[in-house]
Amino acid sequence: MVAATGVLVAAIYYMMNLRITQKNQELSLKTQELTLKTQQQNLETRQAQLFTQVYSRYDREFWRDWLLGMSKDYKNYDEWDKDRRNIDTSSARLAVGTYMMGIGTLVKRGLLSAEIVSDLISGPVIMWWQKYSPFYAEYRVRANYPTYAADLEYLYSELMRLKPSEYAPIYRPEVSGAKSRGGDGLWLT
């Protein structure tokens, strides 16, 4: 009888330990879920902060540079390359291109959501890439720099993937006599 009681007590003790272990595992799982949720919220907050910093550069100076770059009508690579000696045009093209390449890098590395970029600044990025991609491609060959503007190309591809197939923003220097405030042109989406 004493032996049977000892076995019964041991079985009860074992079952209590199993229940305690199971509850601890459940609590640990809930803690992990809350931690993941908090990390996701922190990531979303950080992406919003990062985009706010990126978007703050999307200002009057950016638009001046973008419009200057878009107003150029290069017939071929040599014209485009020759225009690099013009400090105003060259600095405008570099400012806009480098800015967009930087956004592409952030998107590619998962630090910035392609969806947010798509919602807010896809038109200018798409139009810039469509205008300058032939020159970037030729520059890659001539300068033996195969990755030149690769992150801008990546960004363009991501934005096009997110947009409907009929989405095709265009830049028109003049539209039925309409002018932008600066008289440089009007862009449409």
Instruction: pLDDT band for 174, please (50, 70, 90 cuts).
Output: low
The pair of three-digit structure tokens given for residue 109, joined into one six-digit string: 């590395």
186-188 and 170-172 as β-strands: parallel, antiparallel, unpaired?
A: antiparallel
Domain boundaries, the chain: 1-46, 57-188
Model pTM score? 0.70
**The pLDDT value given to residue 151:** 97
What pLDDT is stored for residue 82 in this prediction?
Answer: 93
Distance (Å) of CA 81 to CA 41, 42, 126, 146, 165: 46, 44, 21, 17, 32
The pLDDT of residue 171 = 66
Is pLDDT at 140 greater than 90 in this prediction?
yes
pLDDT digits (tens, 9 = 90+) for 57-108: 889 999 999 999 999 999 999 999 999 889 999 999 999 999 999 999 999 9
pLDDT score recorded for residue 154: 97
Write the single-letter amino acid at 189. T
